[in-house]
Amino acid sequence: MIIYKTGNILDTDSQCIVNTVNCEGYMGKGLAYQFKKAYPANEKAYIKACKTGEIAIGKVFLFEEDNKIIANFPTKDKWRLPSKMEYIKLGLLDLINKIIVRQIYSIAIPPLGSGNGGLNWEDVRKEIESSFYDLSEEIEVVVYEPAGNIQTNLKPKKAPKLSLSHYVVSKIESLLKYYNVKDKTYIRLQKSCYFFNHFYRKDYFDFKAYKYGPYSHDIEIVNKKINEYMLYYDIKDYNVLCDEVYKTIISKKIESELDNIDNAIKLSSEYVNNIKSNSELECLTTIMVLIKDYSYTTEEDIIKGFKDWEFSKEKSRKFKEKDILNSINYLLNTNIISKGLLGYCLVSN
């Protein structure tokens, strides 16, 4: 689970806490200075690690003090120079490996390189999400966003205008299990809306092949407006929200189609709720994209499609042939796809 919050990262209850550092042994400003005061033994060990080469770009140094595992994460080489995204990517790779080896179950991460380092927080956030995607179901990842970056809790000056799309998304959110609204990757919401298209028999939301399978930017925009609407009217329950959206958007034209829409919402949310793993959802919907958009009709084609997936090199490493074949069988058994003389196709009735 990935959770976002603001506040003092030093107050975290997480087992492991990330400290952003340079490779020269200086903890003179920013978060590192706060760590220096809170964990003096860690500072001494960090200085020594800089001299011995135990810490370097792409090489995270772990140290334990006061029942905390401190991950000293180099976001800079020289303390006077800015951070680079390359440093963040390399460091995250090493951090993930160390988490697995040490069997760390919870970790708190600051906005890596986004303060004095000068990196764009949105770019860094996406890199953190991507790196922890495979582990996010096994460990708790608490990401501390820059305080100045958080605007989502501010009440909008006026209520956003809502449409039928907002009704569909809010209704799906109200029905989903295992859905973490603080998870900004919105994997389950995205996949549920993709299945909504399938059960509605229309491409209501515009999906394109992307890193985790089908992705629709429209859903992010719609969900942002939903959150603003909830803030404006101080709505905290999705069922209440759905009632309000219904009252706002209902018309004779919409009402005549609402039974079909509600049925597709029900079927899509039930289908996704039966799948606890985000990775399994990714595999299933990637297969559907390969069949629908790439016209891959055989098992060999689909397996090759995973290997050649241009949006993520991780796809072929993440999903083995057995995983793909199991997912094909699941889609067959749940009547999402069928197999005929010409191979696999999506069920359309």
Q: Which residue has the tokens 């958007």?
A: 249
Q: Which domain holds residue 43?
A: 2-149
For residues 299 and 240, membership in a common domain is answered with no
Check whether residue 9 and residue 127 sit in a common domain: yes
* 123, 149, 175 - which closes a domain: 149
Residues 141 and 155 occupy one common structural domain: no
183 & 97 share domain: no
Last residue of a domain, one of 274, 300, 316: 274
Tell me the backbone φ, ψ of residue 191, rounded to 5 degrees: -70, -35
Per-residue confidence of the chain (349 residues) as pLDDT tens digits?
788 888 889 989 899 999 999 999 988 777 888 898 889 999 999 999 999 999 999 999 999 999 899 999 999 998 878 899 999 999 999 999 999 999 998 999 999 998 777 899 989 999 999 899 888 778 889 999 886 544 445 577 788 899 999 999 999 999 998 766 555 457 899 999 999 999 999 999 999 998 889 999 889 889 888 988 998 899 988 889 999 999 888 887 788 899 999 999 999 999 999 998 889 999 999 999 999 999 999 999 999 999 999 887 778 888 999 999 999 999 999 999 999 999 999 998 6
Give dist(CA 338, CA 301) in Å, integer.
Answer: 16
Nearest 5°: phi and psi at 77?
A: -90, -65
**Count of domains for the chain:** 3
Which burial class, exposed, middle or buried, applies to 234 when counting CB atoms under 10 A from its CB (0-12, 13-18, 19+)?
Answer: exposed
Do residue 94 and residue 173 come from a single domain? no
Please identify which of the residues 76, 171, 191, 292 carries the catalytic annotation. 76
Quick check: is 76 catalytic?
yes
201 and 132 share one domain: no
Are 258 and 184 in contact by the 8 Å Cβ rule? The answer is no
